Every structure is written in C-alpha cells, then in structure tokens.
Chains A and B, each alone.
Chain A
Amino acid sequence: MAKSVEDRERVIIRFAGDSGDGMQLAGSRFTDATAMVGNDLATLPNFPAEIRAPAGTLAGVSAFQIHFASRDILTPGDAPNVLVAMNPAALKANLGELDRGATIIVNEDAFTKRNLEKAGYAANPLEDGSLSAHRVHRIPMTTLTVRAVEGIEEVSTRDAGRAKNLFALGVLSWLYGRPTEITKQWIEQKFARKPGVTQANLNAFNAGWSFGETTELLDVQYRVKPATDVPPGTYRNVNGTTALTLGLIAASVRSGLPLVLASYPITPASEILHELSRHARFGVSTIQAEDEIAAAGMALGAAFGGRLGVTATSGPGMDLKAETIGLAVALELPLVVIDVQRAGPSTGMPTKTEQSDLLLALYGRHGESPLPVLAPSTAGGCFEAAFEAARIAIEYRTPVIVLSDSFLASSSEPWRVPDVADLPAIDPRLAVAANGGDGADGDGAFLPYSRDERLARPWAVPGTPGLQHRIGGLEKADGTGNISYDGANHARMTRLRAEKVAGIARDLPPLAVDAEPGARLLVLGWGSSEGAIRAGVRRARADGYKVACAHLHHLNPLPENTGDVLRSFDRVLVPEMNSGQLALLLRAKFLVDVESFCKLEGQPLFAAEIEREIVERQ
C-alpha cells in the first residue's frame, strides 16, 4: 500500500529498555545516521547506576533520548514524541513524561505476566485502555527477530533474541527515513570477528526496516529535513567527554607540553581516562592512580617536570584532591582539574547530573586559595573549555578547575571541527636563565617567585642548568621563594596570588547579553543549562514575552562587566541544578537581589521549566 510522508520540524525519540537490551547502542546508531542526514541534534543517555540491575525491573531501565530537527536545537528535548519501550518496566518508567498524543512503540512479546508483575503492573496496560491518550504500536519484536535470524550458524536462540534492539532500530530508521548504509557498515566492523553475529544483527536490522515498509501497522513515514541554519564547516558528532579530551590534546600540541593525565576510576569521569589512554601516539601518558589523592599528586608532579598535568574526577574525588589543589595554589604550578559533577552529597546519585560543586570549586580548600574556575555549556563547548583551562593554567601558573557535569559528559551534538591553525599557540615561557642578582641581564641568582606582567612566576623545570630551586607548601618569601613566616610577607603573597587570578579577567570576553528591546528580566545561567535556558527564552519570546538571557562560562574570575549587566535589569532569574550556589555568589559580590530557580532531580533543566519561570515573572 502507498504510505504517506509527513514533514516534521523536530522530533524527540526515547529508546527505553532493560539495561541489557542494548538501548544505548540503538540510540547511538540512530544518532550517527541522523547526523549523516544533516539534522541538528542533541542526545541524552540515562542509565541505571547498577551495572546489572535485576532484569525487567524499574531499577534496570536504561534509556537514550535523541532530539533532532531541521533547525538548530539547543537541548536533548523535554517530553519525547516517540517512546520505544522494550518491556513493561521501560513503559512504566517513562510513561509519565509523555504528552498526550505521543507515539509508543512496544515490544509486545515482552508484556508477559511475569514481566508485568516485575514492573508492578496489576493489569496489562496494552489491554486495559490506560494508554488511550497515546498512539500505541504493538510489534512482536522478539518473535520477528528470532524468525529473521533462523538458520544462521553459530547463533543460538538467546543470541537471536539479543538482536531485537537492531530490529527496533530498523523500524525507527524506516519511520524517520534514516540512511541504512552507515548502520550496516558499523555492524560489519563491530562484529568483524564473529560472522554469525554480524549476520544476525544485519538480518534483525533489515527485518525491522522491512517491517516498517510493508506492514499496515505504521501507515505514515516522517521526514525531518536537513537543518539549513548551521554555519558551514566540517562536522562530527561528539559528546562532552570526547570534546574535552580533544581539547586537552589540542592544548598539549599547541603548547608543546606533553600531556600527563592521572585519574582514579569514578563515574562519570572514567571515560576521560579511557579515551586519553588510547592516544599515546599524541604524547599522552595516562596513569591509573591508587586513589584520588595520588591522581592529583601525580598530575602536579608531572607539572613540576614541565608537562601539562591533568586530573579528572567527580565530586567525591574533588573532596580528596582539595589538599593537592591547595599545594598547587602555593607552588604556583599549572594543573588542570576536571570535575564531572554528579548528584551529591557523598556517593549521591553517581549517574545523575547536578551543578552542585560550584562553591566547592571556588572555596573548597583551607586558607586563602583562589583559583580560576570554568564551566562548559555544551558538549562541543567542552573542547574550548579544556583548551582554555590549559591555557590559563600554563600562562598563569595556577591550578584551574573545569566544572563539567554528567549531562554534558554523555550528551552529544554535532560539533564544528575547528581548524588547528585557528587555535591560539600557548607559550609556556619556561625559564632558561637566572633572573635576579646584580647583572643587567639577570646573570645572578634565580628568583622562583619573581613575577611577570601577569603576576605569573617563572617555571623552571628540572634539567635546566643553574636554576635549581626548592618549592613547597610552606609560605614563600616574595621573590626568593625561601621559607618565610613573616606576617607582612604572607599578607603580600596572599594578595599577589589573589590579584594574579583576578587579573585573568583582562583576557576574558565581556558577558554577552542576548536581549530584546524592553526586556526587564534577565535569565542568567552557567554550565550545562545553556541549551535549556536559550530554548526556554526562545519559546517565551515566541509567545510574546520580552526577556533577555546570558550565560557565564567563567565562574572565577567573572567577566568584568558582570555587575553592570546584573544591575541593568529589573529582575534577574538564575536557574541552577543546585540550591542556588551562583545566586548566593552574585548576591554577595554585587548586592543584586537575584532570584533562584533550583532543580535537584538528577535531570537536566528543561526548556519548558525555564519558559514557565519566565512567564510567571512577567
């Protein structure tokens, strides 16, 4: 029968199933095919903390959401238009987030009495009318998959059943007109050593596609045209982790300093260690340290040796690294610390996102120990943030904290690949000669705590003849770096360290405000909420509201015009995934009565929430 094709501007699909059902794989394959079409996109995986939660239970549900559109989009989307539910638990866990009229595609084979019980359903929702507000498509995916792979040698019935995620992917690929070659190539490469598995997955994928094409169950195919408002360039799909590691490697190449990453495994930062450990040929050394403290110490030790020292962790690891970061403040050596934030306190919710380490990053050390803090706002933006953090660390001889989060680390988007020639060179200005004493050209002593125009001290690395010196955590005498317990010197050194960090603001672009004439309300965010805030502002404007927005990428120092911006609006709304940490800071620094919108649910901010908060304040 002839099927109709309908155009859609944007679609949000959520693949949900048991954590063993391969939903992340199906979602990421759909994403790559979508990128090939030229749609703009954003993705958000959501998986349980347990590696293998009991099968079929709500605790074991794993999901992957993709938002794609024919225009630029800013978030992975709020409510899905399409839910793929591979079992009753996946349906139950996600149903509450669907709007009326959303499409639900279920694997009806999985709706057995036992699975319904495990999900806590008294009656089968496919039968009892409880889904009547939605368009439900029931597909016996397990049966059809097993049938599609019958007769392939080396493939058991169990293996066959496991390919049903590829069947589901085939159905969705047909429904949204995704190219199939890229997925088939991926299957062939992924399982190259197992011909039977390759064939099973190909058959399952093709069977899903054919099912969409030939059955009457799905009577309409949707088309999302390529996005036309994206800047020209070469693109690839990246998540925040990949972008961040590329940014670190780029900073290493552009500074000429080999990269040393020392980390201890922790969710959700371990992926940084995994990715960088594959790049030894780029001069990258990685160390899996014995603990978080050692990881920071190793990175700092490498920095003393003239390397770009980096350590990556999440909240609990930040607590442990505080002592070493304080030492780096005193030593005035470059150190990049990546904090992929997750919900706390303590172990909290390791796989859920939050922005609650801001005050920790700024103030979580004993003594007066200021340091620069940056926060990327998009997955692709993690590249710039990592590069910029390394630049500041190297040029100012200071530890720098980058506040990423779980959402940024795992969400993905198309990223315009920068031209290497456009990346600024970073000059480490390693000390090679004495800088004190009597001679006009400084041919006397070496003063490790003298300062340049940035108030940065000379970085003399071991192996440099004549510049032997000793540094340590004890307070230094200004200039010579000798141990000093002199009160006036301590006051001067404390001020110099603070002024050095504050002076970084001179390098920073002013806070850019996206304002409409007549806007009295400013929505100011930081970190990963930028997409949701801009999308929420866009929606409010579409409804006729006047509103401005701005986003902070540097939390210390703040852009020099921050106070002026805040004072130029009647009201300032600060949405955060914490209890109002930036709001507290802005109130303290600028005496402006900012209003907080706080979300602490382990989920990113949604555009609809921002829109609602804007509308309530008009």
Chain B
Amino acid sequence: MTHNGAGGDVLTLTKADFQSDQETRWCPGCGDYAVLSAVQQFMPELGIPPERIVFVTGIGCAGRFSYYMNTYGMHGIHGRGPALATGLATAREDLSIWIVTGDGDSLSIGGNHLIHALRRNVPLKILLMNNQIYGLTKGQASPTSELGKITKSTPFGVSDHPFNPVALALGAEATFVARTIDRDRQHLTEVLRAASQHEGAALIEIYQNCPVFNDGAFAALTEKDVKDANQIRLEPGRPIRFGAEGERGVIRSPEGGLEIVDVADCGEESLLVHDPHGTDPGVAFSLARLAEDPTAPTPIGIFRDVQRPVYGRTAAPAAPASDAQLSELLLSGDTWTVA
C-alpha cells in the first residue's frame, strides 16, 4: 500500500494489501479459491483502506474466507453472520462490511437472519457461495440440493424441494440481487463492482463448484461446449437473448410470466428488455424462476438494483452524552430531597 502525495489522501492499493499471512486451506480445485482471488483483486477498486473493511463469515467452507483477507474479520457462528454484521453496521456507518456465506449457512440454519438483513436493507454485501451441498461436514444435502440427489444423508434421493436463492432474496424485498459464477472472473468482478456501488444490502449468489462432494453441479453454465446455450446474461437496457448466435431469447408469455423462445419465431422486437431498476419485482422474480435448476438455460447477472432507505442511517449520534446530560437524565422525573 502506498499513499500518493504529501497529504496521503489518495490510496494506491494492490491485491497484495488484501492478502493475509494465513495459508489457505480449501480442497485443491475448490471454487472458493477463484472467488477469494477475484475479491482480493477487486478490493483496491473500492478506494477504502483495509482497516475500514470488515469480512464477517459463518460456518462452512466459505466461513474460512475471513481469515484470508487482510482486513478486519470475524468468523462467527453458523448462520449468524448477518446478525453480527447488522450490529456492526448499526454501530459503524464508516465501514465497508462484507459477508461470505454458503447455502447451508445462509439458507438453512441462518435463513431468518438473511431475510431480515435483506428486508431491513442493512448496508452489507453478501456473497452467497452456493455449491448445493454441505462440504465441511462431508457431503450432506443442502437446502439448494436438487430433488432426487443422492447424498450421505439422502441415500434414496433428496425429497425436500430446494430453495432458489435469488427468488428467496427477491421475496425478502432485497434491493440488490445478482447471480454469478466462480469460474467467470470478469463477470464476478463486474457484479462485485455493481454491488459495492449499491447503497444498502446486496445479495450475490455465486455458483461455486465443490470438486469433492458435488463436482460439476454447474457444468451446464461453465463448460465451453454448452455454456453459450445455457448462460442467459442479463444486461441492463438490452434485450434478453442468449445462445452462441443469440438465437434464443426471453419474452413475456401470454399467461403473464416469462418464456424462452427462438428469436427467429418471435422477432427481436418482442424480446424482454432487461431493467433491474424497475419498481415491480415481478419480472425479476420470473427471471429467477426461468430454470428449475442450473442444468438448463439460467440467467446470470443483476436481477434487481433499486433504492430504498438504508438501515441505520437515521441512528443515534456516534458519541455518548456528556456527564452533565447524564446528570440531567438521572434527576429527571419527580424528585425530592432529604436533608
């Protein structure tokens, strides 16, 4: 880290300024490495010194993230990251606070804290690493595991209907919701940038490959030969179309939802133009539900980005009262004196 100029008011930070001295201990090939590297690479762009950035994590493989960032960090308890971070955000408006969590941490044991942080619009950036499996406990079904999946805890297949994290966040009135992929650093970085510029809570679902317990869960979106056919890249102000030649697209269906069509059949002018800033969250919700699971054409990008009052911005003064004010408070109400 260097300070540019005598006043030291322009920061020149590099990725190295955000790397802690701790050895990373995820499995070889884990998608978490790619996300960590992308985040460390992106951090200098914030223009915020490392001491004013905090990473809060819960339990699970993603929970280790905070140890690897040379910022302030708290590795909390299972699912409680948003609660710890909400307290911190209430206390300290001057900090940039990031949560790194997983599908078990945030959607199962910590579901309540996640939805309330989103509806309150607490200024937190939440990176939800979704690998559709419990990794740290060695391979049980998670709340995003697909129906029928054989895992250690579901030898006859998952029978619990999975959560769709983007749809869940939209239902919780989140003001910023995006989805990206661990292996697409450029897209991941663009989403991080947009989230950091958003005032209020931002939820980013990151499809993250677990090479040990759920390898290839997102292959349809990451493998060269199929990804063009399955990645629906949402770009604000542009018609929603995909495929190697842009031959497919999304239109409003007569029933009121959305459907995927061949552009040749409908014409480009009938395609839905993506608008993450629209007041009606219904379109974003329909987009989130275009695919049952990420084995078919699936939207990635920013689903929703709207403004709403930010939690805690009307809070108490940052300093306690004076002794004189305290004295006045203690003596308030009906008092009497005994000589």
User: What residues on B are CB-neighbors of A284 within 8 Å?
Assistant: 316
User: What residues on B are CB-neighbors of A420 within 8 Å?
Assistant: 323-324, 326-327, 330
User: What residues on A are CB-neighbors of B66 within 8 Å?
Assistant: 470, 472
User: What residues on A are CB-neighbors of B337 within 8 Å?
Assistant: 232-235
Q: Does A594 contact B (CB under 8 A)?
A: no
State the 8 A-B residue pairs at the shortest beta-carbon distance, nearest first. Answer: A472-B75, A301-B87, A297-B83, A298-B87, A470-B73, A301-B84, A294-B83, A305-B91
Q: Does B264 contact A (CB under 8 A)?
A: no
Q: B86 — nearest CB in chain A belongs to which residue?
A: A298
Q: Does B85 contact A (CB under 8 A)?
A: yes
- Taking CB atoms and an 8 Å cut-off, the chain B residues in 2-24 that contact chain A are 20, 22
Q: If A234-B336, A307-B91 touch, does A294 touch B112 (CB 8 Å cutoff)?
A: yes
Q: Tell me the minimal C-beta distance from A492 to chain B in angstroms.
A: 21
Q: Find out whether the CB atom of B75 lies under 8 angstroms from the CB atom of A299.
A: no
User: What residues on B are CB-neighbors of A324 within 8 Å?
Assistant: 77, 80
User: What residues on B are CB-neighbors of A306 within 8 Å?
Assistant: 91-92
Q: Pick from A38, A182, A249, A419: contact of B329, CB below 8 A.
A: A249
Q: A279 — nearest CB in chain B belongs to which residue?
A: B329
Q: Is chain B's interface secondary structure helix, strand, loop, or mixed overall?
A: mixed
Q: Find out whether the CB atom of B338 lies under 8 angstroms from the CB atom of A233.
A: yes
Q: Does A281 contact B (CB under 8 A)?
A: yes
Q: Find out whether the CB atom of B74 lies under 8 angstroms from the CB atom of A470.
A: yes
User: What residues on B are CB-neighbors of A466 within 8 Å?
Assistant: 51
Q: Does A35 contact B (CB under 8 A)?
A: yes
Q: Tell me the minimal C-beta distance from A387 to chain B in angstroms.
A: 11
Q: Pick from B75, B95, B330: contact of A463, CB below 8 A.
A: B95
**Contact digits for A389-423, partner B, Cβ 8 Å, 1 yes 0 no:** 00000000000000000000000000001111100
User: What residues on A are CB-neighbors of B318 within 8 Å?
Assistant: 258, 283
Q: Tell me the minimal C-beta distance from A150 to chain B in angstroms.
A: 32
CA distance A421 to B75 in the complex (A): 40
Q: Does A44 contact B (CB under 8 A)?
A: no
Q: B330 — nearest CB in chain A belongs to which residue?
A: A417
Q: A470 — nearest CB in chain B belongs to which residue?
A: B73
CA distance A281 to B321 in the complex (A): 7
User: What residues on B are CB-neighbors of A472 within 8 Å?
Assistant: 57, 66-67, 73-76
Q: List 7 A-B contacts (CB under 8 A).
A: A38-B336, A253-B320, A254-B323, A258-B316, A304-B88, A468-B50, A470-B75
Q: Find out whether the CB atom of A301 lies under 8 angstroms from the CB atom of B88.
A: yes
Interface-located stretch among A161-169, A285-293, A499-507, A562-570: A285-293
Q: Does B49 contact A (CB under 8 A)?
A: yes
Q: Find out whether the CB atom of A250 lies under 8 angstroms from the CB atom of B326.
A: yes
Q: Pick from B74, B84, B316: contact of A283, CB below 8 A.
A: B316
Q: Does B187 contact A (CB under 8 A)?
A: no
- Taking CB atoms and an 8 Å cut-off, the chain A residues in 203-252 that contact chain B are 230-237, 246, 249-250, 252
Q: Does B72 contact A (CB under 8 A)?
A: yes
Q: Tell me the minimal C-beta distance from B269 to chain A in angstroms.
A: 46
User: What residues on B are CB-neighbors of A282 within 8 Å?
Assistant: 316, 320-321, 325-326, 329
Q: Does B71 contact A (CB under 8 A)?
A: yes
- Taking CB atoms and an 8 Å cut-off, the chain A residues in 417-470 that contact chain B are 417-421, 462-470
User: What residues on B are CB-neighbors of A279 within 8 Å?
Assistant: 329
Q: Does B333 contact A (CB under 8 A)?
A: yes
Sample of 20 more A-B contacts, CB < 8 Å, known A282-B321, A298-B83, A468-B50: A35-B334, A35-B336, A230-B338, A232-B337, A253-B323, A256-B320, A279-B329, A283-B318, A283-B321, A285-B315, A290-B112, A297-B80, A298-B84, A304-B54, A418-B330, A419-B327, A462-B54, A462-B72, A463-B94, A471-B73
Q: In which size bucket is the chain B interface?
A: 35 or more
Residue of B67, B77, B91, B330 contacting most chain A CB atoms (<10 Å): B91
- Taking CB atoms and an 8 Å cut-off, the chain B residues in 302-339 that contact chain A are 312, 315-327, 329-339
Q: Pick from A235, A290, A295, A468: contact of B335, CB below 8 A.
A: A235
Q: Find out whether the CB atom of A262 lies under 8 angstroms from the CB atom of B87.
A: yes
Q: If A235-B335, A294-B83, A417-B331 touch, does A280 touch B22 (CB 8 Å cutoff)?
A: no
Q: B335 — nearest CB in chain A belongs to which residue?
A: A236
Q: Tell me the minimal C-beta distance from A433 to chain B in angstroms.
A: 13
Q: If A235-B338, A301-B83 touch, does A257 touch B320 (CB 8 Å cutoff)?
A: yes
Q: Tell me the minimal C-beta distance from B205 to chain A in angstroms.
A: 21
Q: Does A78 contact B (CB under 8 A)?
A: no
User: What residues on B are CB-neighbors of A473 within 8 Å?
Assistant: 75-77
Q: Find out whether the CB atom of B87 lies under 8 angstroms from the CB atom of A299.
A: yes
- Taking CB atoms and an 8 Å cut-off, the chain B residues in 193-246 that contact chain A are none
Q: A33 — nearest CB in chain B belongs to which residue?
A: B334
Q: Does B70 contact A (CB under 8 A)?
A: yes
User: What residues on A are CB-neighbors of B89 within 8 Å?
Assistant: 301
CA distance A330 to B278 in the complex (A): 45
CA distance A360 to B66 in the complex (A): 32
Q: A250 — nearest CB in chain B belongs to which residue?
A: B326
CA distance A472 to B83 in the complex (A): 15
Q: Find out whether the CB atom of A236 lies under 8 angstroms from the CB atom of B315.
A: no
Q: Find out whether the CB atom of A300 lies under 8 angstroms from the CB atom of B84.
A: yes
Q: Find out whether the CB atom of A327 lies under 8 angstroms from the CB atom of B112.
A: no
Q: Does A337 contact B (CB under 8 A)?
A: no
CA distance A473 to B52 in the complex (A): 22
CA distance A464 to B53 in the complex (A): 11
Q: Does B189 contact A (CB under 8 A)?
A: no
CA distance A295 to B116 in the complex (A): 12
Q: Tell me the minimal C-beta distance from B73 to chain A in angstroms.
A: 4
Q: If A250-B330, A283-B321, A285-B315 touch, does A293 touch B52 (CB 8 Å cutoff)?
A: no
Q: Find out whether the CB atom of B334 lies under 8 angstroms from the CB atom of A36.
A: yes
Q: Tell me the minimal C-beta distance from A349 to chain B in angstroms.
A: 27
CA distance A32 to B332 in the complex (A): 14
Q: Find out whether the CB atom of B339 lies under 8 angstroms from the CB atom of A232.
A: yes
User: What residues on B are CB-neighbors of A552 within 8 Å?
Assistant: none
Q: Tell me the minimal C-beta distance from A234 to chain B in angstroms.
A: 5
- Taking CB atoms and an 8 Å cut-off, the chain A residues in 354-412 that contact chain B are none
Q: Find out whether the CB atom of B87 lies under 8 angstroms from the CB atom of A260.
A: yes
**Contact digits for A154-182, partner B, Cβ 8 Å, 1 yes 0 no:** 00000000000000000000000000001
- Taking CB atoms and an 8 Å cut-off, the chain B residues in 43-79 that contact chain A are 49-54, 56-57, 66-67, 69-77
Q: Find out whether the CB atom of B329 lies under 8 angstroms from the CB atom of A236.
A: no
Q: Does B90 contact A (CB under 8 A)?
A: yes
Q: If A304-B84, A463-B51 touch, does A260 touch B91 (CB 8 Å cutoff)?
A: yes
Q: Tell me the minimal C-beta distance from B139 to chain A in angstroms.
A: 22
CA distance A376 to B322 in the complex (A): 26
Q: Does B185 contact A (CB under 8 A)?
A: no
Q: Does A259 contact B (CB under 8 A)?
A: yes
CA distance A485 to B116 in the complex (A): 35
Residue of A38, A302, A462, A473 contacting most chain B CB atoms (<10 Å): A462
Q: Does B277 contact A (CB under 8 A)?
A: no
Q: Does A519 contact B (CB under 8 A)?
A: no
Q: Does B289 contact A (CB under 8 A)?
A: no
Q: Find out whether the CB atom of B51 lies under 8 angstroms from the CB atom of A468.
A: yes
CA distance A293 to B82 in the complex (A): 11
Q: Find out whether the CB atom of B74 lies under 8 angstroms from the CB atom of A246.
A: no
User: What residues on A are CB-neighbors of B326 within 8 Å?
Assistant: 249-250, 253-254, 282, 420
CA distance A324 to B334 in the complex (A): 39
Q: Find out whether the CB atom of B91 lies under 8 angstroms from the CB atom of A285.
A: yes
User: What residues on B are CB-neighbors of A419 within 8 Å?
Assistant: 327
Q: Find out whether the CB atom of B90 lies under 8 angstroms from the CB atom of A298.
A: yes
User: What residues on B are CB-neighbors of A246 within 8 Å?
Assistant: 329-330
Q: Find out whether the CB atom of A300 lies under 8 angstroms from the CB atom of B87.
A: yes
- Taking CB atoms and an 8 Å cut-off, the chain B residues in 84-108 that contact chain A are 84-92, 94-95
Q: Find out whether the CB atom of B335 lies under 8 angstroms from the CB atom of A417.
A: yes
Q: Find out whether the CB atom of A237 lies under 8 angstroms from the CB atom of B334.
A: yes
Q: A309 — nearest CB in chain B belongs to which residue?
A: B87
Q: Tell me the minimal C-beta distance from A545 to chain B in angstroms.
A: 32
Q: Tell me the minimal C-beta distance from B338 to chain A in angstroms.
A: 5
CA distance A287 to B116 in the complex (A): 12
Q: Find out whether the CB atom of A470 lies under 8 angstroms from the CB atom of B331.
A: no
Q: Pick from B56, B85, B91, B95: contact of A258, CB below 8 A.
A: B91
Q: Tell me the minimal C-beta distance from A581 to chain B in angstroms.
A: 27
